[in-house]
Amino acid sequence: MSFAEPYEWYPAEYRTHFDIQCQGNPLIEALYPQYSETEFQSFITNTPELPHNFFNLPFEHAQRSIKRLEKAYIPSPLDYEIYRHIHSEMVNGYVHRNPITPMQQAKMLGVARGQFVPNPHNNKQTASGSCTLLSGISGIGKTERVQLILKMFQPVIRHELYQGHPLIIDQVPTVSFEISNLKSVKALGVNFFKATDKLVGTNYTQQWYKGKQATYAFLIEMQLLAERFGIGITHIDECQKLLAEAKKDDSPTIQYLESLFNNVGVPIIMTSTEEGVELFDSKSNSDDESLRKFTTTRRLTSGRDIRCERLSLFDDEFQQFIDCFLPPYLFDRTPARSEEFKAQLYDYSQGVHQVLNKLLRLFLDNLHRKRPEASQYSDVLKAVFDNQFRKLKPALRALKNKSAQAYELEMEKLRDYKDDELSQMRDDKFELAGEPLEPRTLHTSVKGPRVCSERELRKL
C-alpha cells in the first residue's frame, strides 16, 4: 500500500502507556506524552522582543520589529486546562479504536456500509463520544487558542511496523475546519475534505467538490476518513454560522455534527461566539418542531462547556501584554509604565485581545515616527484610538455596558466599511502606517456573524 505524501509527518515512536487499557494501542502509544504545565507554557508562549535600540533603528526595520508583535501570544491558565482536556479526550477516544484488533476492523467494515451515519432529517440523534464547546465574544482569540493547542500534537504520524507486524497508517491526531457559509451537509463534507487534504496530501476535495454523489455517500466518506487516518479529535470553528441556515431541512446542526463524528468515536471541540451560544440555548420542550434542532448547550456538550473571557485590568496576562509591547528596558520611568496608562489601555481595548494587540502596535508605530515627548504618550494613545478605531467605538461601548449581543451586532456592521480599521488584523499584508486595506471583521471569514431577528426566532 502506498502513502499519500503529507506536508509534515513524523515517524511513529511508540512509548508504553502507564494505563493498562491504553497499552498495545499504536494510536495512543505514538502520541506525545502529556506535557507538564511548565513545558506547555514554554512551547505556546510567544513574546517577540523589541530591539534595545528600537528608537534608533531606521523606520522600515522598526516596522518589521513591530510586525512580529502581531503574533505575540500570552497564554492564560485556561489554556493548559484545555490542552489537558483535549489530550484526555483524544486518548479516551482511541481506547476503543485500536486498529490491530478484530473489533476495530469489523467496525471499519460497518462504517463503509453506512451503519453509523446519522440521518440529517432526524434531529434527535444521540452521540456516543464527547463534545466540548469553547465560547466567547469575537476578537478574544478562541480560534487562535485552540489551533495553537492543537499544534502541540504531531500533525501526521506515519506507522509502518508495530510489534514486528506491518501497520500502514498515516495517523492524523487533529483536524480543524471552519463552518463557512454552509448551505448543506455536502458543503460540510467539502470543508472537512479540504482540511484532511491539507494535512495528508490527498485530493479528496477534488474528487468530491463537484461530484453528484448523494449526501449519504459524503457522510460515509467522512466517517471512513476519520477511521482510515485515525483522527483523534475534530475542531469545528465558527459554529454560530449554522444559524444562517437553521430554517433549511438539509442544513447541518450542532447536534447532527456531534453525532456524525462521535458515532465513530471521534470527540469534537466546537468554537462559537456568545451570540451563537445564546441562540443555541433554547428550551428543548418547545412545541415548535424545528426549534428542537437546537437543544440546550449543556445537554449537547457531553464533554465540557468552556467560556473564554476578555482580559481583566488586574490579570497577570494583561500586565504581560504590556511588558511584551512596552518593555521596561525601553519605557522604564515613563508614563507608558504607569497605572494610569494601563487603565487607559484597558478602557480603549475593553480587554479584547486583538484590539489590545493592534492598539499597542499602532502606538509603537506612532512613537517611532513622531518621537513625541514622554509626557505626551497618553495623548498619542488617545489620537491613535480616535483615528484608527473610530468605527469600533460603538462595539466597545456595548462591551463597556456588558452587552455581548450588541457588541456582535456592531461587529457585523464593520464588514461593510471599505476602510475598516480592523481589516487585516491577522493578515500578513497589514501595514502599520494606516493605509486603507481590504475590509475584514474579527471573524476568520469575510462574512460577519448573523443574529436572528425576533421574527426568525419565532419561526425556529
Backbone angles phi, psi at 129, to 5 degrees: -90, -165
Question: 0.75 cut: is pTM over it?
Answer: yes
Cα four-point dihedral sign 404, 410, 415, 419: negative
Counts for the chain of helices (H) and strands (E), in that order: 20, 8
The set of residues, in sequence order, having a beta carbon less than 8 Å from that of 232 and lying 6+ positions away, is 27, 31, 90, 93, 94, 153, 171, 172, 173, 174, 266
CB 251 within 8 A of CB 182: yes
CA distance 380 to 383: 5
CA distance 240 to 294: 12
Q: How confident is the prediction along the chain (460 residues), in pLDDT tens digits per residue?
A: 445 677 789 999 999 999 999 999 999 999 999 999 999 999 999 999 999 999 999 999 999 999 999 999 999 999 999 999 999 999 999 998 999 998 888 888 888 777 777 665 554 444 455 788 899 999 999 999 999 999 999 999 999 999 999 999 999 999 999 886 656 778 888 999 999 999 999 999 988 887 778 888 888 889 899 999 999 999 999 888 776 665 565 566 676 777 788 778 899 999 988 776 654 554 444 444 433 433 334 444 456 789 999 999 999 999 999 999 999 999 999 999 999 999 999 999 999 999 999 999 999 999 999 999 999 999 999 999 999 999 999 999 999 998 888 888 888 787 555 434 444 443 333 233 333 333 333 433 334 444 444 554 444 4
C-alpha distances out from residue 186 to 180, 189, 210, 260, 441, Å: 12, 5, 10, 13, 26
Strands of 157-162's sheet in order across? 10-11, 157-162, 165-171
Query: What pairs with residue 306 in β-bridges?
Result: 134
Q: Rounded to the nearest 10 degrees, what angle do helices 316-325 and 353-370 cross at?
A: 30
Backbone angles phi, psi at 162, to 5 degrees: -130, 120
Closest CA to 391 of 418, 368, 370: 418
Quote the distance between the C-alpha of residue 164 and its chain's center.
39
**Per-domain boundaries in the chain:** 10-34+76-307, 37-74+310-388
Owner of C-alpha cell 474528487? 207
